[in-house]
Amino acid sequence: MNQPLRVLADRELDRDIPYGVRIAASWAWRLGLILLVGGALVWLLSRISFLIIPVMVAALLAGLLSPVVRWLKKNRLPSGLAVAVTVLGFIGLIAGSLALVGRQLVAGFGELWSEALAGVKQIQDWLADGPLHVTADQMDQYLREATTALQNNTSSIVSGALSFGSTAGHFAAGLILALFILIFFLLEGDRIWAFLVRLLPRKARAATFGAGRKGWASMVSYARIQMFVAFVDAVGIGVGAAIIGVPLALPLSVLVFIGSFIPIVGALVTGAIAVLLALVANGPINALIMLGIVLLVQQLESHILQPLVMGKAVALHPVAVILSVAAGSYLAGIPGALFSVPILAVANTAIRYIAARTWEHEQVPAFAGEPLTAGAGVDNTIRDVQPPAVLSRGKGAAAGTKAEQPDAPPAAERGAGAEPKGE
């Protein structure tokens, strides 16, 4: 008798608690559990970042190079040969660009050094004759203090150099791993994704498959458009630097191109480097002109390219982009800043797809002649994979109408949210 009375007392106690407080408490422990799992996931990913970063690089490169592979296949080139030609051509393009930049650096370093010495002399004259009135003795004292500080921190500098050597080794290993993964993404990307989807429960496969497909399309669009934006930034700043006579204009444009893949922050940093190079080489007037060129190019990107092109591709607010870059750089440094926006774009697209329950009105492609949502007794070995796609429409079908699939049962027969049945 005591137990029913206790249950009754607990229910009366629950009724005494306001409804809003009970709802808040229910949300609180659920959100706390989500944050705990998310924190554990972030920690785990940080421990295996040496694997995650090459996979992300390979995914972005696969999104950029997949149209080339498809074009070669349409021209009756075998799949393996098409991937080999694409990857080797990409490596050759990168190697040629680096060789050209290296030649420009070697050729222009002597001129830049002499101009830098002249620029330092101008700065010294300005410090002595300008409003600061720094005497030659004071400047010599500052130089001696800087030299002493370097001598006292020799061990730290040596350890930093050794750490850089280790980092360079890890970077080279990561590049090789990314190249290896890229080849398999281009060869068997659909089969890899289908295999991962089949590891899930049958009821979750259709939604996961569609969300992944939409997220992948969003990331591919982001990578291609970001490359276009980076190209515009590099050409604008590089041509402007060449016109006003800034040395090393070609290496500077390559640096701007690479830095522009980090949204907003990369353009600011590389633009500051361009202005500093103009200041050291050609003086303050030339630096002000270079600053105007950088601001003009960035305004073109911010007010024309980003809203019209990037906004349609990823549908992210600029505030979300800035916050994601800041959070990514804090958690994972430069790789975090580089991959934060595409990850956010993929998550945004996938969540919106699942929330809209769009997969209920799409036909999941069959893999190896079997439906993706095959029963537990069906062999899940993937032997051949067709490219994922929604229902194809007939020539005369209007937008928004269903495609005709004679072998697929109508949605009314299988029910909303039911798994598509195979043949």
- pLDDT band with cut points at 50, 70 and 90 for residue 150: low
Which pair of structure tokens corresponds to residue 244?
Answer: 């006003």
DSSP 8-class letter at 360: G
* 86 has pLDDT over 90: yes
Query: Across the chain, what does the average pLDDT equal?
Result: 75
Cα Rg of the chain, angstroms: 29
For residue 190, is pLDDT > 80? yes
Quick: pLDDT tens for 291-326.
Answer: 999 999 888 877 777 666 766 666 777 788 788 888
Domain boundaries, the chain: 51-143+171-360
- The yes-or-no verdict on residue 258 having pLDDT over 80 is yes
pLDDT at 313: 67
Q: Coil, helix or strand for 370?
A: strand
CA–CA separation, 6 vs 136, rounded Å?
88
Amino acid at 121: K
Amino acid 377: pLDDT: 43
Within 8 A by CB and 6+ apart from 278, the residues are: 241, 244, 246, 286, 287, 289, 290
What pTM was estimated for this model as a whole? 0.66
DSSP string, 258-298: HHTTSTTHHHHHHHHHHHHHHHHHH-HHHHHHHHHHHHHHH
**Could you report how far apart the first and last alpha carbons of the chain are, in Å?**
59
123: buried, middle or exposed (CB in 10 Å: 19+, 13-18, 0-12)? middle
Contact present, 86 and 103 (Cβ < 8 Å) = no
From CA 86, how far away is CA 220, in angstroms rounded? 17
d(CA 344, CA 336): 11
> Residues with Cβ < 8 Å from 301, sequence gap 6 or more?
229, 232, 233, 267
Instruction: Say what the pLDDT of residue 364 is.
Output: 59
C-alpha 157/C-alpha 323 separation (Å) is 33
